[in-house]
Amino acid sequence: MTLRFFALAAMAGLSVAAAGPLAAETVRYGATLSGFAQVPPNEGAGTGTVEATLDSETNAFTYTITYSGLTGPAVAAHFHGPAAADANAPPVIGMKDTASPISGSAVLTAAQVEDLKAGRWYFNVHTKDNPGGEIRGQIVAQ
Protein backbone atom coordinates (compact mmCIF):
# COMPACT_ATOMS: atom_id res chain seq x y z
CA MET A 1 0.00 0.00 0.00
CA THR A 2 2.87 2.39 0.70
CA LEU A 3 4.35 1.92 -2.77
CA ARG A 4 0.94 2.49 -4.31
CA PHE A 5 0.60 5.75 -2.34
CA PHE A 6 3.98 7.02 -3.55
CA ALA A 7 3.20 5.96 -7.14
CA LEU A 8 -0.15 7.78 -7.10
CA ALA A 9 1.43 10.85 -5.52
CA ALA A 10 4.16 10.89 -8.16
CA MET A 11 1.62 10.59 -10.98
CA ALA A 12 -0.31 13.50 -9.49
CA GLY A 13 2.86 15.58 -9.42
CA LEU A 14 3.06 15.71 -5.63
CA SER A 15 6.32 15.70 -3.75
CA VAL A 16 6.32 13.29 -0.84
CA ALA A 17 9.24 13.29 1.59
CA ALA A 18 10.00 10.20 3.57
CA ALA A 19 9.41 10.72 7.27
CA GLY A 20 12.58 10.36 9.30
CA PRO A 21 13.22 10.40 13.03
CA LEU A 22 12.37 13.62 14.84
CA ALA A 23 15.31 15.85 15.60
CA ALA A 24 16.34 16.23 19.21
CA GLU A 25 15.21 19.42 20.85
CA THR A 26 16.57 21.31 23.84
CA VAL A 27 13.77 22.84 25.89
CA ARG A 28 14.48 25.60 28.41
CA TYR A 29 12.82 25.63 31.82
CA GLY A 30 12.96 28.09 34.67
CA ALA A 31 11.50 29.39 37.90
CA THR A 32 11.65 32.39 40.18
CA LEU A 33 12.13 31.36 43.82
CA SER A 34 10.43 33.20 46.68
CA GLY A 35 8.96 32.61 50.12
CA PHE A 36 5.55 33.60 48.80
CA ALA A 37 5.56 30.51 46.52
CA GLN A 38 6.11 28.13 49.46
CA VAL A 39 3.17 25.99 50.60
CA PRO A 40 2.31 27.46 53.06
CA PRO A 41 3.81 30.86 52.10
CA ASN A 42 6.35 32.65 54.29
CA GLU A 43 7.45 36.27 54.42
CA GLY A 44 11.19 35.67 54.04
CA ALA A 45 13.31 38.03 51.96
CA GLY A 46 15.07 35.20 50.09
CA THR A 47 14.95 35.10 46.31
CA GLY A 48 16.42 32.94 43.57
CA THR A 49 16.18 31.57 40.08
CA VAL A 50 16.29 28.20 38.36
CA GLU A 51 17.60 27.90 34.80
CA ALA A 52 17.41 24.44 33.25
CA THR A 53 17.35 22.58 29.95
CA LEU A 54 15.98 19.21 28.89
CA ASP A 55 17.36 17.30 25.90
CA SER A 56 14.33 15.59 24.34
CA GLU A 57 16.42 12.77 22.85
CA THR A 58 18.47 11.75 25.90
CA ASN A 59 16.23 13.10 28.72
CA ALA A 60 19.33 14.84 30.10
CA PHE A 61 18.19 17.56 32.50
CA THR A 62 20.82 20.22 33.27
CA TYR A 63 20.27 22.99 35.81
CA THR A 64 21.75 26.01 37.58
CA ILE A 65 20.13 27.49 40.67
CA THR A 66 21.12 30.75 42.30
CA TYR A 67 19.68 32.26 45.47
CA SER A 68 20.38 34.88 48.14
CA GLY A 69 18.84 36.55 51.18
CA LEU A 70 17.95 33.41 53.15
CA THR A 71 17.55 33.45 56.94
CA GLY A 72 20.62 31.21 57.19
CA PRO A 73 22.63 28.62 55.28
CA ALA A 74 20.73 26.18 53.09
CA VAL A 75 20.48 22.78 54.77
CA ALA A 76 18.79 21.05 51.80
CA ALA A 77 17.58 21.81 48.28
CA HIS A 78 15.54 19.66 45.90
CA PHE A 79 13.47 19.38 42.78
CA HIS A 80 10.09 18.02 43.90
CA GLY A 81 7.18 16.51 42.04
CA PRO A 82 4.64 15.81 40.87
CA ALA A 83 2.68 18.71 42.37
CA ALA A 84 0.69 21.75 41.34
CA ALA A 85 1.85 25.16 42.56
CA ASP A 86 -0.45 24.94 45.59
CA ALA A 87 0.62 21.46 46.74
CA ASN A 88 3.70 19.73 48.13
CA ALA A 89 5.40 16.57 46.84
CA PRO A 90 8.41 14.40 47.69
CA PRO A 91 11.89 15.19 46.36
CA VAL A 92 12.73 13.95 42.87
CA ILE A 93 16.34 15.18 42.64
CA GLY A 94 18.31 16.18 45.72
CA MET A 95 21.31 18.48 45.74
CA LYS A 96 24.56 17.24 47.31
CA ASP A 97 25.99 20.75 47.56
CA THR A 98 23.46 23.41 48.56
CA ALA A 99 25.70 26.50 48.33
CA SER A 100 24.61 29.00 45.68
CA PRO A 101 25.11 28.64 42.77
CA ILE A 102 24.05 25.01 42.46
CA SER A 103 24.75 23.27 39.14
CA GLY A 104 24.21 19.71 38.02
CA SER A 105 22.48 17.28 35.74
CA ALA A 106 20.42 14.10 35.82
CA VAL A 107 18.88 11.73 33.30
CA LEU A 108 15.11 11.71 33.82
CA THR A 109 12.70 8.82 33.44
CA ALA A 110 9.86 9.08 30.93
CA ALA A 111 7.38 9.72 33.78
CA GLN A 112 9.59 12.48 35.21
CA VAL A 113 9.83 14.12 31.78
CA GLU A 114 6.03 14.11 31.46
CA ASP A 115 5.61 15.69 34.91
CA LEU A 116 8.25 18.32 34.12
CA LYS A 117 6.61 19.16 30.78
CA ALA A 118 3.22 19.43 32.49
CA GLY A 119 4.54 21.96 35.03
CA ARG A 120 4.29 19.55 37.97
CA TRP A 121 7.83 20.08 39.31
CA TYR A 122 9.09 22.73 41.70
CA PHE A 123 12.40 23.57 43.33
CA ASN A 124 12.87 24.70 46.90
CA VAL A 125 15.63 25.54 49.32
CA HIS A 126 15.35 24.57 53.01
CA THR A 127 16.97 26.34 55.97
CA LYS A 128 17.12 25.65 59.71
CA ASP A 129 14.48 28.35 60.32
CA ASN A 130 12.29 27.03 57.49
CA PRO A 131 12.78 23.24 57.38
CA GLY A 132 9.78 22.77 55.06
CA GLY A 133 11.32 25.18 52.58
CA GLU A 134 12.23 28.86 52.65
CA ILE A 135 11.98 29.66 48.94
CA ARG A 136 10.24 27.83 46.14
CA GLY A 137 9.38 28.15 42.47
CA GLN A 138 7.29 26.10 40.04
CA ILE A 139 9.35 24.91 37.06
CA VAL A 140 7.86 26.01 33.73
CA ALA A 141 8.93 25.92 30.09
CA GLN A 142 10.44 29.21 28.95
What's the pLDDT tens digit per position in 60-109?
999 999 999 999 999 999 999 999 999 999 999 999 999 999 999 999 99
Q: What is the pLDDT of residue 44?
A: 87
pTM of the model: 0.82
Whole-number percent of the chain with pLDDT over 90: 81
Mean pLDDT of 14-42: 80
The average pLDDT across 1-24 equals 49
Instruction: Say what the pLDDT of residue 16 is.
Output: 46
Provide DSSP, the chain: -HHHHHHHHHHTT---PPP-PPPP-EEEEEEEEESTTSSS------EEEEEEEEETTT-EEEEEEEEE--SS-EEEEEEE-S--TTS---EEEE-S--SSSEEEEEEPPHHHHHHHHTT--EEEEEESS-TT-SEEEE-EE-
| Summary mean pLDDT of the chain | 89
pLDDT of residue 24: 76
Q: Which of 2-16, 21-35, 127-141 has the lowest mean pLDDT?
A: 2-16
The answer, yes or no, to whether residue 17 has pLDDT greater than 80, is no
Selected residue with higher pLDDT from 38 and 4: 38
